[in-house]
Structure 1
């Protein structure tokens, strides 16, 4: 399982944008970046705005500057790429769900849906996606709890953290 597997499609796309910006380490032409990522320019601008908000939570160690034609990362302190990705991971619903299941022995789907402000059907989709990922650890989410051998569950959480 990869960390990116726990991110939603939009979050993965934003991480890909960040990767492109870090790789170039210079000013990027917005139309060129949109073409490389096969994105509409308005989608790219929306993602850049969201990335800028994520960066604001990192104590201004990195900022994103962009206008209608150019985008640029500006590092104002020491920050690792892992720290940036962890910021995304912390807010990912699938990651939060796994943390919740670690801290609580079991709960109902209705309670989980309310806790994460999701519909039950969306929660079911996320659980299904997680169960696909958890197959390699021989564990699964069932009836609001992780099911499997305790050693496998511990190994999974060790791997996750």
Structure 2
């Protein structure tokens, strides 16, 4: 029969009457898989950005905004002169790709069609203010697992 005791160093030990003290077994903790946060979202513009060569760019990606992204436009002179310009500067910071364009500047965003700008503003709001609205569900009839957008459409769509 083993009894629990305290060793001279203050550590718990198990005392085996037949032998000497044994170290107490520490609980086994299973490793936890890290949770992956989706930080980049792909999109397809309703109309598309038309560059100087006439190429239409519709597919792109937008990353989650940081606190710095939200604060940086506030010191931009264009935003100070016209507060409505804030969304243009902000979107240019978080859009990581638009077609083959990998450096999306404010000048590109301001040349978007109004419907594409509204689409991107909505996408920004949904991924940054509300988070994602996807839920994994299982069909009760066939037991297939799939995702459903609880907001009713793809991010950025109305």
Which protein has greater RCO, CA pairs closer than 8 Å, 6+ apart?
A: 1
Query: Which has more strand, going by share of residues?
Result: 2
Determine which structure has the larger helix proportion and give its number: 1
Q: TM-score range by the shorter chain?
A: under 0.3
Instruction: Please report the TM-score for the alignment, with normalisation by the length of structure 2.
Output: 0.24
Max Rg structure:
2
